[in-house]
Amino acid sequence: MFTKLLIANRGEIACRIIRTARDMGIKTVAVYSDADRDARHVAMADESFYLGESAPAQSYLRGELIVDIALKAGAQAIHPGYGFLSENADFARLCEAKGIAFVGPGSDAIDAMGSKSAAKLIMEKAGVPLVPGYHGDDQSNATLVAQAKAIGFPLLIKAAYGGGGKGMRIVESEAEIQANIDSARREAASSFGNDKLLMERYLRQPRHVEVQVFADTQGNAIYLSDRDCSIQRRHQKVVEEAPAPGLSDALRKQMGEAAVAAAKAIDYVGAGTVEFLLDKDGSFYFMEMNTRLQVEHPVTEMVTGQDLVKWQLIVASGGALPLHQSEVQIVGHSFEVRIYAEDPNNEFLPASGKLTFLREPEHSRHVRIDSGVRENDVISNFYDPMIAKLIVWDENRSRALSRLLGALESYRISGLKHNIEFLSNIAEHPAFASADFSTDFIGRYGEALIGGSRDDSDTAFSLAVLLQLLLRASRQVVQQGNQDPYSPWASLGGFRLNSLRSHSVSLIDDEHQTRHALVTQDGDSFRLPLGESELVLSGSLSGDQLLAEVNGHRSKVGFNADADGLTLFLPSGSYHFREIQGQVLEESASSEDKLKAPMNGTVVAHLVAIGDQVSAGQGLLVMEAMKMEYTIEAPFDGVVSEFFFAPGELVSDGSLLLSLTEEA
């Protein structure tokens, strides 16, 4: 076994690998960029080395430098995690040439599966069923358009050397073909350095079921459970579970054996995932093989009781698989959800900024958190906006789902937008509870899952008013400097402001809605007019909890208060408010606002030229941030006057991107 391991990655996966290595007595070496100098994975490792600037191309994608660091540190092996260099055959080949063990398959296997088109040819020869499509080398526009028409619609265009939904487009008609080819090529080149595309018939409402396979250097290959990853947005997985619900034992065995056959067809070694599309009639089709550890591997660990990173290290050091196929046991059910810094109510735009408040659910044998961040860490716009993975387990699916809902309710984040409420809405949806889903689940039920009006907004507002009044009194106690515990100024629950019997509070929420309250104080309580009724409020503060009483109903509400405002954590989700002093001007989105950058990111392309006449809704410019493209559209008919940023330039959230002169 190795004595020292370099982890060529960052974030939660680097932290997760370090934990297993430490348990095995293996020393760990971390690498970091400018943005990650104080990151959690750096603090956890035994030693760390600087790579370069924050952008991945200047840091985590510098394969030769990473290998040089491994040699310098005396590491015998490199674990690439997932993403970055994990499926880069040249990097694996470089490790092999330098005598360093690459914790993953050999470079030939990565090459074989790295191109989705080449992989389909191999799978076809191995007898694995394929979806009809085109995966040839002729990438001319004429050939791609002709093949698209021949395959028919709906059509799926995919980056041949990609994953994670990047470079993937659904085409519904002939008129959409060329624009989607151009967009997919551009994103594929940006994300993977290769713009080759493939196309296949798009199956409506299939399920995405994948199989975890493992193989060693001694000829052993097995499958370890299956996973359902059908809950996706933009072809990126949001919720995963193991085992996949509703599969017969015969179908489960058939898919597992097909996955092992796929691995053996390329002499695979290590951990891999074979992904299938499962149609309603029980037919399944090979989609791709990921030659690395998957983000969702923890659900397989939870139901098998195995540590897959430990298995990887055993196999990479020449050892045999710890189990034979007959010894694999599946116990209970597990879910994983990905906690992201993003805004589901604004097209899932990624968010960057500081995690000013972070409270995770209590860890136990039922609840696991894989995270690479801590409170006050910054979510950078240079990398994937994942905050953590929440994994739960219980004896069956319904009990595991209850665990998931409870854990999501106790997960508390403030400082930036996140998707916890969105994930809770998915877990609570009747169709999800009954496992009636497919890959279009979010598209089908989006209105019920994303945002919408919450019926406790009045409750949140009234609690925010109470919290603001208690915080004002608390600050006044501190300013008075009174140390007498029996002084009325020291009581946060029953204070009196004898010279001020009424209080004005103006709060604005994250939807830019402003509400005003004129509260009268009556001894220890406050009276808040709300609509046609009046609420009687009282309470006290205990750490990060508001102990509130509203019209006789007592509750404990988690909160965070900082310079950015107040955040209340209610069962339905989190509510953020900012207090506004003085006269409040109503905010409205002007036409110019729609030409501003909606996030920190990079300008990818100009879709029109200066002087072009454009129509409302026409794409003008493409931005990219955190691996996602976003198109800026014309808010009105006009003429493009000027671009303020060239392709490749970084822009800040709110920067004006271009000037558009409105037609008279």
Q: Which residues are marked as active site?
A: 292
Residue 324, class by beta-carbon neighbours within 10 Å (0-12 exposed, 13-18 middle, 19+ buried)? exposed
Radius of gyration of the chain (CA): 27
Residue 43's contacts (CB-CB under 8 Å, 6 or more residues apart) are none
Question: What does the block give as tokens for 144?
Answer: 């791609």
Buried b (16+ CB within 10 A) or exposed e, 260-285: bbbbebbebbbbbbbbbbbbeeeebb
What DSSP assignment string belongs to 105-153?
--HHHHHHHHSHHHHHHHHHHTT--B-SEE--S---HHHHHHHHHHH-S
- With CA atoms as reference, report the closest residue to 462 among 525, 414, 522, 411: 525
Separation of alpha carbons 499 and 521, rounded Å: 11
Residue 81 near residue 30 (C-beta atoms within 8 A) = no
Residue 336's contacts (CB-CB under 8 Å, 6 or more residues apart) are 239, 240, 241, 296, 298, 299, 389, 390, 391
Separation of alpha carbons 152 and 15, rounded Å: 45
Question: What does the block give as tokens for 179?
Answer: 């624009």
Look at residue 657 and give its three-state secondary structure. coil
H or E element, residue 301: helix 297-304
H or E element, residue 66: helix 63-73
Number of other residues whose CB lies within 10 A of the CB of residue 557: 21
- With CA atoms as reference, report the closest residue to 184 among 604, 597, 595, 647: 604
Look at residue 187 and give its three-state secondary structure. helix
Looking at 305-456, list the stretches that DSSP marks H as alpha helix, in order from N- to C-terminal side: 308-316, 397-409, 420-428, 430-433, 441-449
Residue 438 near residue 246 (C-beta atoms within 8 A) = no
Tell whether the torsion through CA atoms of 422, 366, 39 and 295 is positive or negative. Answer: negative
Separation of alpha carbons 225 and 559, rounded Å: 40
Tell whether the torsion through CA atoms of 119, 125, 131 and 133 is positive or negative. Answer: positive
Look at residue 5 and give its three-state secondary structure. strand
Separation of alpha carbons 27 and 43, rounded Å: 13
Per DSSP bridges, beta strands 4-7 and 27-33 are parallel
Look at residue 400 and give its three-state secondary structure. helix
**Which amino acid, one-letter code, is at 15?**
C
Q: What is the CB-side half-sphere exposure of residue 568 using CA atoms within 13 A?
A: 28
Phi, psi values for residue 518, rounded to 5°: -110, 105
Task: Give, to the nearest 10 degrees, the angle between helix 107-114 and helix 116-125.
Answer: 100
Separation of alpha carbons 440 and 249, rounded Å: 25
